[in-house]
Amino acid sequence: MLNLLTSTQIRQADSHTISKDQISSIDLMETAAVAFTDIFTNQYPQKSTSISIYCGTGNNGGDGLAIARQLKQRGYSAISVKIARFTDKASPEFDANLKRLAEVDVAPVEIKNDNFEGENAVVVIDALLGTGLSRPVEGYYRALIEFLNKIPAKIVSVDIPSGFCCEDHIDPKAAVIHSDLTITFQLPKINFFFPESGAAINRFEIADIGLDEEFLAGQDSHFKLIRREDVQKILRPRKQFSHKGTFGHGLIVAGSDQTMGAALLCAEACMQTGAGLTTACIPPQGLAGLNARIPEIMAIIRERSFTFTDLEKYNAIAAGPGLGYSEETVKLIKDMVLKSQVPLVIDADALNMLSQRLEWLKKLPDYSILTPHMKEFDRLFGQHNTWWGRVETAKKKAAENQLIIVLKNRYTFIVMPDGKVCINPTGSPSMSTGGMGDVLTGMIVSFLAQGYEPKDAAILGTYIHGYCGENYPGYICPPSALVKNIPIKISEIMGENWL
Ligand SMILES: NC(=O)C1=CN([C@@H]2O[C@H](COP(=O)(O)OP(=O)(O)OC[C@H]3O[C@@H](n4cnc5c(N)ncnc54)[C@H](OP(=O)(O)O)[C@@H]3O)[C@@H](O)[C@H]2O)[C@H](O)CC1
Ligand SMILES: [K+]
């Protein structure tokens, strides 16, 4: 997993790299400027593009000056540099790069107050403030940020959008550059994965500046980014002499006479993800649909006052999708919570039952997996105004109850009982349709049934679910189409050793 660090830790990595590689800070700045320019010129290959670079007087601004020089040296002919001289302080690296700018005969314009002249460049490079942000942006900086956010130019931010805080609560009223593209150095910043960053960051790319990988990996951080190689390491190829029993038996307790679709999606996802056997515990009305749509799935019919007598025969159990909320279903879930010897995957209506009976949390088998979206989470653990607050609560509740909480969003947070927060990078807005959660639940319970550890089942299910969705060749990805792609995408991720 990729260790995600705070801005302080990244600064420590700077100085560690500078001393270890025997380079100077200005060298590192030059490396950063070259790395940024490589990505930028790919994005804007036309050398006549009019580009205005707005520089603060710290190292973020220093980067901006070095980038201006790089662009000029690469033949970009319409470069203008504007220095926000709102303080008499300037970093040595900024000063050094200001001198070097003269080498390529770019004469910067100094802005000393808030009467900004018109700006009609096609692209603005935002190098005002970076990870040195230490307080809310006010005064001329705020005015300049608000001015730049209003012009039609595309904005490309250096390292982070100016005014953006890299970790901790994001203040929705803060003055932050709305960047079309953020080219960030070495690591994505933790807050890039929090929904509140959406206004400031349309998309981001990583510029590797050669910081010491060992040092970065050795830093203590709760936040880890799941990478394809992590998933490849967890996935196990199938042995030649295996049979359906080898891959476990998953039980899906879902569906009601009004909402059978969720049960079908969940059950099919469990089968398509590779469980040896899948049984769906459904109402009588659902049987015809189940058999017609997914003949591979076995059924237990939930007649009135149905109770389980043989839960132990299942390797993994998921409950909730489309289950409905009645005295019967509450009794059924209570039965499972108290009787099950294997971790449960609790989703949808079953989560809502849990939120009315929090005492059940402690009764769930250890490492059971809750898969709430934001509203279900707040119903369970109280109203939250920020996602940072939700993640902090999820860490606490996961530890208190020895649970795994899959807090679903564009970048789903998988919160482990040990406080680790594994962030899933896969997925896409094309997946924003009802039924996606039912599929995810089916995928997670399937990996559990196949014998994967709960934390691995949550990681695999979430990563592959998003991977299937983001690779679906359509404007939106229907959940019933996504499930068909699961086996193909798993073998694609595994590469040649999938069998
Ligand atoms: N490893 C890397 O990622 C590298 C990053 N580089 C670049 O360096 C910046 C960080 O540079 P730094 O000099 O630490 O700080 P900034 O340029 O972000 O800010 C400059 C100064 O601005 C002041 N400040 C802080 N908050 C505010 C605010 N709200 N309003 C106004 N001014 C503010 C603060 O100074 P004070 O003395 O006023 O507190 C900052 O020091 C990083 O983002 C990268 O772009 C390196 O170039 C290469 C390696
Ligand atoms: K910036």
Whole-number Cα distances in Å, 491 to 2, 411, 486: 23, 23, 9
Domain of residue 280 covers 228-494
Does 209 share its domain with 238?
no
* Tokens of residue 309, six digits: 């007598």
Q: Taking a C-beta distance cutoff of 8 angstroms, is the pair 265, 286 a contact?
A: no
- β-sheet bridge partners, residue 345: 318, 369
Of all protein residues, whose CA lies closest to atom 27 belonging to ligand 1? 133
Structure confidence at residue 323 (pLDDT): 96
pLDDT at 117: 84
- Average pLDDT value over all residues in the chain: 96
Q: Do 235 and 215 sit in the same domain of this protein?
A: no
Contact 1, 226 (CB under 8 A): yes
Residue 157 structure tokens: 């931010």
- ipTM (interface predicted TM): 0.98
191 domain residue, yes or no: yes
Q: Are residues 188 and 324 in the same domain?
A: no
159 in contact with ligand 1, CB cutoff 6 A: yes
Q: Is 165:173 a contact under the CB 8 Å cutoff? A: no
Q: Is the pLDDT of residue 22 over 90?
A: yes
Say if ligand 1 is within 6 A of residue 91 CB: yes
Nearest Cα to Cα of residue 481 among 221, 426, 489, 119: 489
Domain final residue pick, 193, 219, 245: 219
Distances 211 to 26, 58, 188, 499 between C-alpha atoms, Å: 14, 20, 13, 37
- On whether 120 is known to bind a ligand per the annotation, the reply is no
- Domain assignment present for residue 10? The answer is no
Domain presence at residue 11: no
Looking at the structure, tell me whether residues 184 and 233 fall in a common domain: no
Question: CB of 349 within 8 A of CB of 325?
Answer: yes
Same domain for 294 and 381, yes or no, is: yes
Same structural domain, 95 and 236: no
Residue 9 inside a domain? The answer is no
The DSSP letter of residue 201 is B
Q: Given this model, what pLDDT does residue 403 score?
A: 98
CATH (domain of 479): 3.40.1190.20
Across 120-130, average pLDDT: 98
Does any domain span residue 212?
Answer: yes
Name residues with Cβ closer than 5 Å to ligand 2, which is an ion.
Answer: 60, 126, 130, 157-158, 162
* Residue at a domain's end among 190, 219, 248: 219
pLDDT at 498 over 70: no
For 31-68, how does the pLDDT look when each residue is reduced to its tens digit (9 = 90+)? Answer: 999 999 999 999 999 999 999 999 999 999 999 999 99
User: Has residue 305 got a pLDDT over 90?
Assistant: no
Q: What's the rounded Cα separation, in Å, for the pair 81 and 51?
A: 9
Provide the pLDDT for residue 384.
97
Residue 412 labelled as part of a binding site: yes
Q: Nearest-CA neighbor of 158 among 125, 135, 191?
A: 125
Distance CA 118, CA 127 (A): 18
Q: Is 322 annotated as a binding residue?
A: yes
Both 169 and 270 in a single domain? no
Q: Which amino acid is at 25?
A: S
The ligand minimizing its distance to the Cα of 126 is: 2
pTM of the model: 0.95
Answer yes or no: do 339 and 263 share one domain.
yes
Residues 400 and 454 occupy one common structural domain: yes
Q: Across residues 272-300, what is the average pLDDT?
A: 97
Decide: helix, strand or coil at residue 408. coil
Atom of ligand 1 nearest to the CA of 135: 29
Question: What percent of the chain has a predicted confidence (pLDDT) above 90?
Answer: 94
Question: Is position 3 within any domain?
Answer: no
pLDDT of 496 > 80? The answer is: no
User: 37 Cβ partners below 8 Å, 6+ apart?
Assistant: 67, 70, 71, 74
Residue 2 lies in a domain: no
Above 70 in pLDDT, residue 367? Answer: yes
Q: Both 134 and 275 in a single domain?
A: no
Provide mean pLDDT across the span 267-271: 98
For the chain, how many structural domains are there in total? 2
> Both ends of the chain: CA-CA distance in Å?
25
46: domain CATH number is 3.40.50.10260
Instruction: Please report whether residue 168 resides in a domain.
Output: yes
245 band by pLDDT with thresholds 50, 70 and 90: confident
Residues 180-192 pLDDT 10s: 999 999 999 999 9
Distance 332 CA to ligand 2 centre (A): 54
Cβ(217)–Cβ(196) below 8 Å: no
Q: What's the 132 CA to ligand 1 centre distance in angstroms?
A: 3
Q: Is there an atom of ligand 1 within 6 Å of 309 CB?
A: no
Spacing, Cα 91 to ligand 1 middle (Å): 9
pLDDT at residue 497, rounded to an integer: 65
Domain boundary among 160, 191, 219: 219
Q: Say yes or no to pLDDT of 210 above 90.
A: yes
Pair 268, 409 in one domain: yes
Query: Is 136 one of the annotated binding-site residues?
Result: yes
Atom of ligand 1 nearest to the CA of 63: 47
For residue 97 and ligand 1, the question of a CB distance below 6 A is answered with no
Stretch 198-219: mean pLDDT, rounded?
96
368 marked among binding-site residues: no
Helix and strand totals (H; E) in the chain? 16, 18
Residue 92's pLDDT band, with cuts at 50, 70 and 90, is: very high
pLDDT tens for 431-448 read: 999 999 999 999 999 999
Per the annotation, does 113 bind a ligand?
A: no
Which residue minimizes the CA distance to atom 31 of ligand 1? 137
| CA of 186, closest atom in ligand 1 | 3
Closest C-alpha among 321, 326, 399, 322 to residue 362:
399
Are 202 and 238 within one domain?
Answer: no
